[in-house]
Structure 1
C-alpha cells in the first residue's frame, strides 16, 4: 500500500515528521517497507529561466542559452528541442549530483563553447521516462527557488498490510490508526449527498439462486449524463503518479483515487455500451469476457459478473470489461458501487490469474456501511471534475446486518491488555478511531 505524505495529511491533522509517522506505523503493526523522499536526490537543483536562446555557432542541433539563476546568469549549451526564451527550467549548476548518473556535474566545453550548467529532463532526474525535452516548470515558479519545492515532491510511504487489516487499504484508514495512536487528529469526512434530477434509465437487479445470494448482497448506482471525460486536474494526476499509478482519464482516475483514498473500489460504465438494465449474476458456462487489461477470459458458474440484458460487462470485484469501459468520447455513464463476496472474488481472481487493486480489497473485505456514502462521494467528484447531470440512485439488495453499537467494558482493557489505561485516554483513543462512545459506569456504548 503506497501513499504520499501530503495525501495522508489530507485526512490527518498532524505536526509529525515522515520519520515519526513511519516509526509509529511500524509500532501499530503496519510495517513500513520503504520511506522514500524523492526531494533528497534533488539537492542543489534550482529553478532557472532561459532569458535568451540562440543557435550554437558550431552545431545546428544545439542551442546556446543564457539562463537566470536568481544570483546571476549562466551560459548553458542545450540540445532539447523545447529550449526557448522565457521557459522556467530545472537547472543544475557545477557540483550538483545528477540522479541518473550519480556523478557531479562539471562545467565543460561543448563543441567549443563553455557550458556552465545543465537543464534537465524528467529521466535525468529519475522523475519519469520523458527525455525528449527539458522539464517545463510553471510560469509562476520563482527563479532561484529549490526545485524540490516547486515540484511538490512528497515523501512516499510503502507499507505492508496484513490480511486482517483491510481497513488500512485506504489512506483514511491509515490516518485513523495514527490519530488513535496520538499522532494527530482525524479530519472529518464531508459527504454531501447529490440530489438527482431525473430517474435513471438504467435499473439494477440481483439475479442469483437462493444458495448464491451472498455473492452480491447490495448493488447501487446512478446515471450521470453529459460528462466530459478529459484529462484530470493536475492535483489528481500528481497524487496518482506520485504512488506509481498512470493517469488515464478523469473518470478512470476518480475511481482509482477513491479506491486508494477510501479503500472503496467502484466502476463506471459507458451507457452507450449498456443494453437495458444492469444486473449482478453468476457467469454462464462458456461465457467470455474481454477485460480492461486487453485479455479475454473464459467464465464459469462459480464467478460473479456484472451484466446487461445481453452479455457480461465486468468481472465483479475484479476488473471491468473493455467493451463497456469509458473513453474520451464518453458522455453518459453509469456509476456502480456494490458489495461482493470476498471468498468468491478471491477464487475468481486466482482461477483467472487476474490481479487488481479492486480484487485486493474486495477479497479482504470492504466496509459494508460505506456503499451509499461512497456513491455520493464519487458522484460529487465526477460532477465537479467532469460536469454532468445526475439521476436518482437505484438500489438492489440491502446492506448485510451489522451491529450499530457495541457494549464496551473498560475494566476488561487491563485484563486483556495487561496494563492500565486511564478512562479519559480510552475515550480519546475511541474518538480517534472515529467511534462515538457514550460513557456509563461499568459498560460504555460505542458506535
Structure 2
C-alpha cells in the first residue's frame, strides 16, 4: 500500500517485462492474473498514459469489467483463470468483441425465450439438422434422495429436485460472467450463475437452495394467510392462500416460479445444493406475480408456459455444469408428477395446405419442415397425416397452425397463388362460432359487441360488490374504470341505453 491506504503499488509482468502500476482495487492480490491496459490504450474515449503519484510512476492500468465495456461492476479489477497465458490477448478466448441481438418474442412463443428454441428455428429455416446439447451428469447412487411432497398438483403438475454435494462456491469463470452481463443479468456466484445461464439456454427457470438450510423435506403447497417470507431482493412479503410456495417442514423458502428466499440462498459457505426444476401453472404464476408486484426472469417465462419435457433436461444440463465448474457430486433426480403430460396430436392434409395458402407445397416438404421443428409423424389415415406436438409448442392446436408454420418456413415471398375466397386461418372453432351467430341473428336476436371495461355504476346495478372487479390505475374515462368480469354487466348497460333511447 502507498501512503494513501486506498492505493496499491503493483509489480506486474506483461509477458515481456516487469512494470509498476498503481491500483485502487480492493481485490488486487499477489499472484492473480488480470487484464492490463498499457499506456496508449483508449478506454471510454480516454487515452491511458503514465501517471505520477509523488515519486512513483504508474505505467498504464489494471482494468475492471466496466472499463472493458461489460456490465457495471467497478468494485474490483477483472480476475481471469490460470489457463490464460501471461502476455496473451485475453479477448479471443473470452469471445470478445461480441454481438448482442435483441429479439422481440411474441407471448405465444415462450420456447424462443431460450437459445435452444431460437437455434431450432434457425436450423429449420436453413434446412440443417438440429441437436440438443448433451446433458448427461455423472450420478452417484450413494447420495440419498430428498423427500418431496406436492400438495397442489393443479398449480404444480410436475416438480423435480436433486441433491448435489461438496460444491465449491466462488465467482464464475470470466467467460460465464461476461455472457450473463451481455444478456442483462448480474453474476452472483458459480452455482446461481449456472442456473441462470441454463435458463437462458433452455428457457426453463431453475432454483438452487442451500440444502443444509432446508428442514427435512420440500413441500409444494399454498401459502397460509398472513404467512411471511423474506425474499432474495431483501423485501419481506406477506402471502395468502392464493399464492403457491415452496416450503420445508417449518416455513416457506421460495415463492414458486417467482423468487427465492433469503434464508436458503446459495452463498460462499454453501457446501450442498438442492436443485429445483418444475412446471408451474402459468395463470397461477401470473396472478401471484401481479399481486406481489414482482417481475423476474423466472416469472416472465413461467407465466407464458414452459417446456414440460425441458424440466428434467434443464436439471440435467445445469447439474452437468455444476459438476464441471463447481466440482459437485450429484445424486439422482426425484421427479414428482400426478400424471404424464397428455399427448397432443394434430392432423394435416396436403389438399388443405393448397386451399389455405393458394400454393401447392408437397407433403414431403411440409413433413420435413414440421419434423425440423420437432413434430413427429404418429400415423396415417387416408389423406391425413397425424403429428404429435412437442411440449415446447403449446401454441399449436389446429391444422391451420401447422399450415402457418409450413408457410413461415417455406417463405411467404415464394407463395404466388391467390387465397381462395372464404378460406383462411379461422379453423373449425371459429367456423362453429359463426354458425351459432348466424342462427340467432336469423331468429331475430341482436348481437351486442362491447368493450371489456365497465363503470362502478354498472357493477352496482348487477348487485355485485365492486371489490370483486379489478380497477384500472389509469382509466380512459369514468365509463371504463374496471375490468369486466361478467358479460351481463355490459348487456345491462346496453339494455338500459336501448330502453331509454
> C-alpha displacement at 1:196, in angstroms?
4.4
Deviation at 1:361, TM superposition (A): 0.4
Larger mean CA deviation between 342-351 and 391-400 belongs to 391-400
SS at match of 1:269: strand
1:118-169 Cα shifts (integer Å, max 9, x gaps): 65734454334466887788853766x6x85465221011111111111101
TM-score (norm. length: structure 2): 0.63
The 8 Å contact of residues 34 and 62 in structure 2, kept in 1 or not, is answered as no
* Distance in 2, Cα, partners of 1:110 & 1:239: 36
Specify the SS of the correspondent of 1:368.
coil
Q: 1:205 to 1:127 in 2, by over 3 A?
A: closer
SS of 2:171 mapped into structure 1: coil
Alpha-carbon distance change, 302 to 87 in structure 1, aligned in 2, over 3 angstroms: closer
Aligned to 2:331: 391
Q: Is the 8 A contact 2:194 2:318 kept in 1?
A: yes
Aligned counterparts of 1:159 and 1:336: Cα–Cα separation in 2: 28
Matched, 1:446 2:387: yes
Secondary structure of the corresponding residue to residue 313 of structure 1: strand
Which residue in the other structure is 2:70 paired with? 127
Question: Tell me, which stretches of 5 or more residues in structure 2 are unaligned?
Answer: 389-501
1:376-411 deviation line (CA, Å, top 9, x unaligned): 222222222223333333232235533265433333
Map 1:295-374 onto structure 2 (within 5 A): 295-374=235-314
Alpha-carbon distance between aligned partners in 1 of 2:357 and 2:198, rounded to the nearest angstrom: 35
Q: Give the number of the structure whose alpha-carbon radius of gyration is greater.
A: 2
- Work out the CA distance in 1 between the residues paired with 2:63 and 2:238: 44
Asked if 1:235 corresponds to 2:235, the answer is: no
- State how far apart, in whole Å, the 2-side matches of 1:106 and 1:189 are: 43
Asked if the contact 2:34/2:78 (under 8 Å) is kept, the reply is: no
CA–CA distance in 2 between the matches of 1:177 and 1:166? 13
Is 1:260–2:207 an aligned residue pair? no
Partner SS state of residue 155, structure 1: coil
- Counterparts in 2 of 1:423 and 1:286: CA distance versus 1, 3 Å: same
How much does 1:370 deviate?
2.0
Shift of 1:238: 2.8
Cα distance in 2 for residues equivalent to 1:224 and 1:65: 39
Q: CA deviation at 1:283?
A: 0.5
Q: Secondary structure at the match of 2:126?
A: coil
Question: In structure 2, which of residues 203, 210, 218 is the aligned counterpart of residue 270 of structure 1?
Answer: 210
Evaluate the alpha carbon distance shift between residue 238 and residue 197 of structure 1 in structure 2; reply closer, same or farther with a 3 A threshold: same
Map Cα deviations across residues 389-435 of structure 1 (whole Å, 9 max, x no partner).
33333232235533265433333223333433344432332233233
Distance in 2, matches of 1:415 and 1:92, equals 69
* Paired positions, count: 373
Deviations along 1:76-127, one digit per CA (max 9) or x if unpaired, are 997546899x98633574xx8x4523x7x5999989xxx9x96573445433
Q: SS of 1:323's equivalent?
A: helix
Q: Match for residue 123 of structure 2?
A: 179
Shift of 1:226: 2.1
Contact 2:71 2:182 in 1 (8 A): no
| Equivalent residue in structure 2 for 1:167, among 99, 111, 127 | 111
Query: Aligned in 2, Cα 1:233/1:312: closer, same or farther, shift over 3 Å?
Result: same
Q: Is the 8 A contact 1:256 1:265 kept in 2?
A: yes
What do you get for the CA RMSD once the two structures are aligned? 3.9
Greater strand share, 1 or 2?
1
- The separation in 2 between residues aligned to 1:61 and 1:231, in whole angstroms, is 23
The reply on whether 1:89 has 2:27 as its aligned counterpart is: no
Classify the secondary structure of the residue corresponding to 2:263.
coil
Among candidates 163, 176, 200, match of residue 144 of structure 2: 200
**Alignment partners' CA distance in 2, 1:336 and 1:87:** 35
Specify the alignment match of 1:140 in structure 2.
85
CA shift in 2, pair 1:310/1:260, >3 Å: same
Residue 324 of structure 2 corresponds to residue 380 of structure 1: no
Task: Provide the rounded CA distance (Å) in 2 between the counterparts of 1:267 and 1:424.
Answer: 43
CA distance in 1, matches of 2:140, 2:218: 19
C-alpha change, 1:106 and 1:387, in structure 2 (3 Å) is closer
Structure 1 gaps, min length 5? 1-54
Q: Distance in 1 between matches of 2:198 and 2:12?
A: 44
Query: For 2:10 and 2:250, how far apart are their aligned partners in 1?
Result: 60
Cα 1:264–1:411 change in 2 (3 A) is same
- 1:276/1:309 contact within 8 Å kept: yes
Counterpart position of 1:414: 354
Residues 70 and 178 in structure 2, CA contact (< 8 A), matched pair in contact too: no
How much does 1:270 deviate?
1.3
Work out which of the residue numbers 147, 152, 174 in structure 1 matches 2:95: 152
The 3-state SS of whatever aligns with 1:408 is strand
Partners of 2:48 and 2:177 in 1: CA distance? 35
Q: Distance in 2 between matches of 1:192 and 1:66?
A: 41
- Whether 1:402 and 2:347 are equivalent positions in the alignment is no
Task: Check whether the contact 1:161–1:169 (CA below 8 A) recurs between aligned residues.
Answer: yes
CA 422–267 in structure 1, closer or farther in 2 if over 3 Å, else same:
same
Q: Offset of 1:324 from its aligned partner?
A: 1.2
